[in-house]
């Protein structure tokens, strides 16, 4: 659609619509995967070493974890080739996600990922960390890796990033940055910190944050493309409400409500990338 092309860059609207529709299905599929693993624990345990955990992946930059995920799945060489051919990498990754979803019934031949360097346990751990980080993005507007970076860089004075992250994945307490912050709170007897920690461990993100999760994920895409700030009121309405159907509001002016949502999302992104 020409009205949106300057915002879409190398993306194709039809493929973007397929990708947006795929987001909740992928989230549900991951939930089913975890339920299956729990139901067949004895079998899955045979794949896992005693030291199985994944929280150290949250110390990586987001792009580093993405590349690691692709490498573990054996897709890194394809990405490099796409780059050499001058393809739009966002479009390429989107197409790969759609292709995988459309062919999920096919048997996938896996031989240790890039260079045969990965074990099945590696793939499970990296996939869990990647999915948890993606979930965090769709709820709080930040990847888990970015929240860890805020804490590590001393840019979390109110400890919100810390407790947002814990509410997504409690195992993050074992990553070095969070273990260090927790140790300091214990050493200095920070009672309010410990109270909030107990609450974060027991509770889940507020129901209001579970709305518009798919929209937040797509906003991140345009944020990374550096075109989100270019959207006019009409363009946001056309793409996010009419075309992608990612925002619904029962109010009298859903378009302005959407723009207020986007403005709040951008303001909350300012402490991180």
**pLDDT, tens digit, 9 for 90 and up, residues 40-53:** 999 999 999 999 99
For residue 194, tell me if it sits in a domain: yes
Full domain range(s) for residue 164? 22-96+109-207
Q: Which two tokens stand for residue 147?
A: 């929240």
Three-state secondary-structure class, residue 178: helix
For residue 90, tell me if it sits in a domain: yes
Residue 117 has pLDDT above 60, yes or no: yes
Helix crossing, 144-152 with 176-187: angle to 10°? Answer: 50
Sign of the torsion angle spanned by Cα atoms 95, 98, 102, 103? positive
Mean pLDDT of 246-266: 91
Q: Which two tokens stand for residue 31?
A: 């939930």
Contact indicator for 106, 138 with CB cutoff of 8 Å: no
Q: What pLDDT does residue 269 have?
A: 81
Contact indicator for 144, 60 with CB cutoff of 8 Å: no
For residue 216, tell me if it sits in a domain: no
Residue 1 has pLDDT above 60, yes or no: no
Q: Residues near 86 by Cβ (< 8 Å), separated by ≥ 6?
A: none
How far CA 230 is from CA of 8, 146, 264, in Å, comes to 11, 24, 16
Q: What pLDDT does residue 252 have?
A: 85
DSSP helix, strand, coil percent of the chain (3-state; round to 5): 70, 0, 30
For residue 8, tell me if it sits in a domain: no
For residue 247, tell me if it sits in a domain: no
As a whole number, the mean pLDDT across the chain is 93
Residue 71 half-sphere exposure, CB side, CA atoms within 13 Å?
14
**pTM of the prediction?**
0.92
For residue 16, tell me if it sits in a domain: no
Mean pLDDT of 151-174: 97
Mean pLDDT of 136-156: 97
- What letter would DSSP give residue 240? I
For residue 158, tell me if it sits in a domain: yes
Q: What is the C-alpha separation between 165 and 136, in angstroms, rounded?
A: 7
What are residue 129's phi and psi, to 5 degrees?
A: -60, -40
Residue 2 half-sphere exposure, CB side, CA atoms within 13 Å?
0
Angle at 233 between CA 266 and CA 222, to 5 degrees: 45
Mean pLDDT of 74-89: 93
Q: What pLDDT does residue 268 have?
A: 87
For residue 186, tell me if it sits in a domain: yes
Contact indicator for 213, 138 with CB cutoff of 8 Å: yes
Q: How many domains does the chain have?
A: 1
Q: What pLDDT does residue 92 have?
A: 92
Q: What is the C-alpha separation between 119 and 45, in angstroms, rounded?
A: 14
Q: What percent of the chain has pLDDT over 90?
A: 85
Confidence of residue 110 (pLDDT cuts 50, 70, 90): confident
């Amino acid at each position: 659609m020409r009205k949106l092309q300057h915002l879409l860059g190398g993306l194709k609207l039809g493929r973007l619509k397929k990708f947006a529709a795929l987001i909740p299905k992928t989230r549900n599929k991951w939930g089913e995967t975890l339920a299956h693993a729990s139901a067949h624990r004895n079998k899955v345990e045979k794949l896992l070493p005693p030291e199985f955990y994944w929280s150290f992946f949250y110390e990586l930059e987001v792009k580093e974890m993405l590349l690691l995920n692709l490498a573990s799945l054996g897709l890194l060489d394809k990405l490099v080739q796409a780059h050499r051919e001058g393809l739009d990498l966002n479009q390429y990754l989107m197409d790969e996600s759609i292709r995988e979803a459309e062919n999920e019934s096919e048997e996938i031949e896996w031989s240790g990922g890039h260079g045969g360097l990965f074990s099945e346990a590696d793939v499970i751990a990296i996939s869990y960390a990647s999915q948890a980080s993606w979930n965090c993005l769709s709820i709080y507007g930040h990847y888990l890796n970015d929240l860890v970076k805020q804490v590590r860089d001393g840019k979390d004075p109110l400890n919100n990033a810390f407790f947002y992250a814990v509410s997504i994945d409690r195992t993050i307490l074992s990553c070095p940055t969070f273990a260090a912050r927790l140790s300091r709170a214990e050493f200095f007897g920070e009672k309010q910190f410990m109270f909030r920690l107990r609450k974060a461990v027991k509770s889940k993100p507020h129901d209001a944050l579970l709305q518009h999760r798919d929209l937040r994920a797509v906003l991140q895409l345009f944020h990374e493309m550096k075109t989100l700030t270019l959207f006019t009121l009409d363009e946001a309405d056309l793409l996010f409400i009419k075309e992608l159907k990612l925002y619904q509001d029962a109010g009298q002016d859903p378009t302005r409500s959407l723009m207020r949502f986007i403005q709040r999302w951008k303001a909350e992104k300012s402490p991180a990338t």
